[in-house]
């Protein structure tokens, strides 16, 4: 039986503009340019930073970077591991504690603006395509704790955790492992999420960006399973 892996982007920096920011001039301006309501556009720090600071948005260091989620999803979906059928499920857990399932066969837009348009549809309607009975992306009515229990092991990649010898053979060599990587620009994965994990690993003594951590793990699994590199 082929080994199957699940991947989850944890606290992904992707959300619609919070209600407290709707009346701020920077949000109104960008919503008018998009010809959408303020609550129907994705929060983007490059456009809405003044609103985020002025209205004292909670956890501001983790929010407003949907480009990070875009890059992570592209790397997962286009990876040799996924193309070879070894990724069973991909999930996006957002900074607002909502979980979305992305079918591994999904081809998300490479163009950033088209990606944002797609995810605005998903965040508003709960799925895409919106009228489909078998959507490629859909909101899940589930908590992260329950989702993690569906897997044999739940591994989180985080700065400052241990890196014991043999972790690759022991954990990545198993079938039914869920691997989590942070989807935000700054800060640490929440402690309550770390507590859900069976193991928390640090891949380097130096801080790594989320995309780098994901790339390292994908390459190590692909080397072991597919004989690449």
What pLDDT, on a 0 to 100 scale, did the predictor assign at position 167?
66
* Mean pLDDT, the chain, integer: 93
Highest mean pLDDT among 134-138, 158-162, 223-227: 134-138
Cβ-Cβ contacts under 8 Å for 75 (sequence gap 6 or more): 211, 214, 215, 218
> CA 66, CA 45: separation in Å to the nearest integer?
9
pLDDT of residue 168: 61
List, as one string, the DSSP characters of 187-198: S---HHHHHH-S
Q: What is the pLDDT of residue 169?
A: 65
How high is the pLDDT of residue 57? 96
The rounded distance, in Å, linking the Cα atoms of 98 and 114 is 22
Question: What confidence score (pLDDT) does residue 1 get?
Answer: 44
Q: How far apart are CA 137 and CA 119, in angstroms?
A: 9
Q: How far is CA 32 from the centre of its chain?
A: 28
d(CA 203, CA 214): 10
- pLDDT reported for residue 203: 86
Q: Are 6 and 88 in contact (CB under 8 A)?
A: yes
**Mean pLDDT for the stretch of residues 58-73:** 97
pTM for the predicted model, two decimal places: 0.95
- Mean pLDDT to the nearest integer, 54-79: 97
Q: What is the pLDDT of residues 181-216, one digit of tens each?
A: 999 999 999 999 999 999 998 888 888 999 999 999
- CATH code assigned to 5-13+66-110+133-226: 3.40.1280.10
Pick the more confident residue, 132 or 17.
Answer: 17
What pairs with residue 182 in β-bridges?
A: 10
Task: Indicate the domain borders of the chain.
Answer: 5-13+66-110+133-226
The whole-number pLDDT of residue 145 equals 97
């Amino acid at each position: 039986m082929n080994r199957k892996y699940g991947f989850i982007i944890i606290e992904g920096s992707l959300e619609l503009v919070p209600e407290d920011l709707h009346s701020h001039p920077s949000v109104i301006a960008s919503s008018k340019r998009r010809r959408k309501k303020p609550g129907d556009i994705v929060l983007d720090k490059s456009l809405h930073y003044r609103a985020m600071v002025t209205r004292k948005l909670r956890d501001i260091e983790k929010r407003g970077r949907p480009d990070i989620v875009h890059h992570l999803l592209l790397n997962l979906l286009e990876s040799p591991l996924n193309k070879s059928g070894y990724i069973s499920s991909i999930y996006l857990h957002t900074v607002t504690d909502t979980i979305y399932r992305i079918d591994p066969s999904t081809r998300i837009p490479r163009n950033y603006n088209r990606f944002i348009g797609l995810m605005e549809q998903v965040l508003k309607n709960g799925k895409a395509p919106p009228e489909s009975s078998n959507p490629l992306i859909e909101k899940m009515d589930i908590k992260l704790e329950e989702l993690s229990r569906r897997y044999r092991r739940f591994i989180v990649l985080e700065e400052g955790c241990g890196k014991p010898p043999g972790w690759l053979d022991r954990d990545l060599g198993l079938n039914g492992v869920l691997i989590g990587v942070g989807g935000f620009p700054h800060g640490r994965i929440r402690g309550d999420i770390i507590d859900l994990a069976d193991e928390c690993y640090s891949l380097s003594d130096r801080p790594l960006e989320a995309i780098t951590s994901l790339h390292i793990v994908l390459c190590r699994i692909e080397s072991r399973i597919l004989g690449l590199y």
